[in-house]
A and B are shown apart, each in its own frame.
Chain A
Amino acid sequence: MSSLLTAHASRRLVDKVLVDLALLVVAAGFVVPLLWLLLGAFNARAGLAVTWPHPWTLHNFHAILTFETTYRPMLNGAILCGGGTLLTVVASVLAAYPLSRYQFRAKRPFLLTILFATGLPITAIMVPVYGMFVQVNLIDTLTGTILFMATTALPISIWLTKNFMDGVPLELEQAAWTDGASVMQGLRSIVLPLMWPGLSVVTIYTFIGLWGNFFVPFVLLSSNDRLPASVSIYTFFGQYGQVVYGQLAAYSMLYSLPAVLLYLLLSRRLGGAFSFGGAVKG
């Protein structure tokens, strides 16, 4: 009997080790392409293949940390994505309130339309958006691009915000109303503080999405001094005949950093990555 138990336990142990091994093999496959970025950025003679930096250097970073190459595109990206995120979040919170708190006839069709819109491939409408922006003189403007970027993020953002707001009980607000607070005061002082974790998910998710977006600014902006980091990285290949891979890796690293840091902040705040999957699942 006892030998049977130990056999069973040792089989379980073997299973667990096998599972861990399989997971680590997959992870290794995911890491290999990343190594080029991590090692190439510090390598004075980086090429296409991953090599151990020889010699280690910070020269790649020194070379790209200029106003034109790094600071300006980052600033433009911050303005575009910061502005777009702010607009999206404010519009989503306002829109989510009636959707979460009131019953009206158009509510279900409206929500279904929003959900339908989350699926539409935004890539497909870039050609007509370009045509439209030329006609109304919004082409190559930061304002026009911010407005459009905010709109692309809006459907999923409204959907998530509404779901998070549903989780805040109505009774607390009603108590504030009897104390004489208006609806908007109730939203600001009761609902928003209580749904803060959910709201930060929406904010960070929106920002990361916009920060990584290449196609929208690529089509809508053309002046060099307005391009964000996602588009100007692409000039590394066109502008100079010979690509300096070390510098490209260093720049890629700096450009990816805000997205990675924001994600880390998000997963720390919410205690693990899996709440994100739950949020996305809807």
Chain B
Amino acid sequence: MSVSATAAPGAAARLRRGLLQGLPLGPAVVLLAVFLAGPILYCLYSAFTDMALTGASGAHFVGFDNFRKAFSSVEFRQSLLYTLIFTILSAVIGQNILGMVLALLMRSGTAWVRAVVSAIVIGAWVMPEVVAGYLWSAFLGDDGSLNRFLGLLSLPAQDWLFSIPILAVSLANIWRGTAFSMLVYSAALSEVPKEIEESATMDGAGTAQRLWSVTLPMIRRSITTNLMLITLQTLSVFGLIWTMTRGGPSNRSETLPLFAYQQAFQLSQLGYGTALALVLLAIGAVFSLVYLKALRLEDHR
């Protein structure tokens, strides 16, 4: 009895102190719960209804109908394919490799060249995405600079935004996003000890061999992290594609975000649009978990 009497106030005081210490977390937790967890839960609910954009009162539970409709629709499967092409072409191949090449070259470039190049590449990154969209529309358009240039070389001109829209938006995304990979890889490479690379050269390794078997393995973790981050960023690109092609022509650059937007807002099928958004969210969640896993591995080593 006496034991619990002394223990109780101690526990209460500890609880009070714990709450007081945790108090500063309040504003952030409230914001995240209301405006991030809230919409995700709402998404989970409305994806299973036939909610329309206009009368929200007439929402009925429809089970997996929206998902069945999605996976049996050609348009949806097409948008998944375009999302995949866009992500691989612009993030995994374009931004990732170009960023790595730039970071590697930067190490042995002259100081002023390095300064100029990084200012320009980062400048492209800082540009708002809508402006980047217009720049590239102007560059690739029918009367655009690229066609003028091809004309000078007597090569056939074409409306790139019309003939291969997915390549056009991918190029724009490479232009806009390469700086991120370049910065991540530059930071990673700066931590690779020079002695290790030098001793590999002493042992007679060529440049390519040294890169492949010494340098790249040492920054392996940064490569994984970067790949996950740029994939996630690319999955949620909307404004860039919207300003350049609006997903067209005839949906040939319509990635999942644009498809969901169109179904929800232009065709007023909020329930269906939400179900599509949930698919995108699930794909994003998987990549985000892989990213977490990659970061956690480091803790154990």
Contact = CB atoms under 8 A, between A and B. Distances in A.
Interface residues of B, number: 102
B237 to A, nearest CB: 8
A125 B277 contact: yes
Interface centre among A208, A267, A274 (most CB of B within 10 A): A274
Contacts of A99: 25
Contacts of B285: 116, 119-120
Interface in A116-159: 116-132, 134-135, 147-148, 150-152, 154-155, 158
A119 to B, nearest CB: 3
Interface string B94-129: 000010011001101110011011101111101111
Interface string B34-48: 111011101100100
A33 B120 contact: no
A239 B173 CA distance: 27
A4 interface: no
Interface in B139-154: 139, 141-145, 147-148
By Cβ-Cβ distance, the 7 closest A-B pairs, closest first, are A119-B288, A277-B183, A214-B239, A121-B236, A212-B128, A277-B187, A123-B236
Interface of A: 15-16, 19-20, 22-24, 26-27, 30-37, 40, 47-50, 87, 90-92, 94-95, 97-99, 102, 104, 110, 112, 115-132, 134-135, 147-148, 150-152, 154-155, 158, 208, 211-215, 218-219, 230, 233-234, 245, 248, 252, 255-256, 259-260, 263, 267, 273-274, 276-278, 280-282
Interface of B: 18, 21-22, 24-29, 31-32, 34-36, 38-40, 42-43, 46, 51, 56, 98, 101-102, 105-106, 108-110, 113-114, 116-118, 120-124, 126-131, 134-139, 141-145, 147-148, 175, 180, 182-188, 190, 222, 225, 228-229, 232, 235-239, 242-243, 257, 260-261, 264-265, 270, 273-274, 276-278, 280-281, 284-285, 287-289, 291-292, 295
